[in-house]
């Protein structure tokens, strides 16, 4: 069959999808809907990835950790994976800010580089977003004799 512009239409084979006459099939690479990822999702992924790095004691500044410790002790409360993490999420890119407490004796520059690398890999792999920057603020150094619970990094409330 010949089109008005002179091109020839061919019949699709048995394994090819059939298009309506006069229409083209959509390119398989085109999305068939929109996916949005909430800021909180990226915060949790980044927080978990940062905590997985050796030398990290906790995330968050002093006030954030204190409020988190109080919230954790309320019945039904639980630790927030996104504590100490702030993100800005666009359609295809994200920027991440982290507040860290590192263990005394570790190289802060090495820990920061490892955190940055781990966070970028986890966020990009899980969300498909491009991480344009990971800003790290080291707010404290945890000393071995400080009265903290190691699993949460929070001070005990008496």
CATH number where 74 lies? 3.30.70.1350
**Domain of residue 118, residue span:** 39-155
Q: Which residues contact 117 (CB under 8 A, 6 or more apart)?
A: none
Q: DSSP letter string over 3-41?
A: -TTS-B-----TTSPPPPTT-PPPPTTS-SS-----HHH
Tell me if 19 is assigned to some domain.
no
**4 has pLDDT over 80:** no
- The predicted-structure confidence for 93-123, as pLDDT tens digits, reads as follows 999 999 999 999 999 999 999 999 999 999 9
Tell me if 58 is assigned to some domain.
yes
For 104, phi and psi rounded to 5 degrees? -60, 140
Tell me if 73 is assigned to some domain.
yes
Under the banding of pLDDT at 50, 70 and 90, the label for residue 145 is confident
**131 has pLDDT over 50:** yes
E strands in the chain: 56-59, 85-89, 93-103, 130-142, 148-149, 154-155
Tell me if 17 is assigned to some domain.
no
Tell me if 88 is assigned to some domain.
yes
Tell me what the mean pLDDT of segment 37-60 comes to: 96
For 120, phi and psi rounded to 5 degrees? -60, -45
- Whose CA is closest to 103, among 51, 142, 54? 142
Residue found under tokens 């498909």: 128
Tell me if 144 is assigned to some domain.
yes
Please give the torsion angle defined by the CA atoms of residues 121, 126, 131 and 134, in that order, rounded to the nearest 10 degrees: -60
Tell me if 12 is assigned to some domain.
no
Tell me if 22 is assigned to some domain.
no
Number of domains the chain is built from: 1
Instruction: Write down the pLDDT at residue 22.
Output: 47
């Amino acid at each position: 069959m010949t089109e008005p512009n002179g091109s020839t239409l061919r019949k699709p084979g048995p394994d090819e999808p059939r298009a309506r006459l006069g229409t083209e099939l959509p390119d398989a690479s085109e999305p068939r809907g929109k996916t949005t990822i909430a800021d909180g999702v990226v915060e949790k992924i980044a927080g978990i990835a940062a905590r997985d790095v050796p030398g990290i004691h906790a995330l968050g500044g002093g006030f954030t950790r204190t409020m988190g410790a109080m919230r954790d002790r309320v019945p039904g409360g639980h630790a927030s994976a996104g504590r100490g993490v702030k993100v800005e999420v666009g359609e295809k890119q994200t920027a991440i800010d982290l507040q860290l407490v590192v263990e005394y004796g570790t190289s802060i520059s090495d820990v920061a580089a490892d955190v940055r690398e781990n966070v970028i890999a986890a966020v990009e792999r899980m969300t498909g977003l491009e991480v344009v920057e990971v800003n790290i603020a080291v707010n404290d150094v945890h000393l071995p004799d400080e009265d903290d619970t190691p699993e949460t990094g929070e001070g005990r409330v008496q």
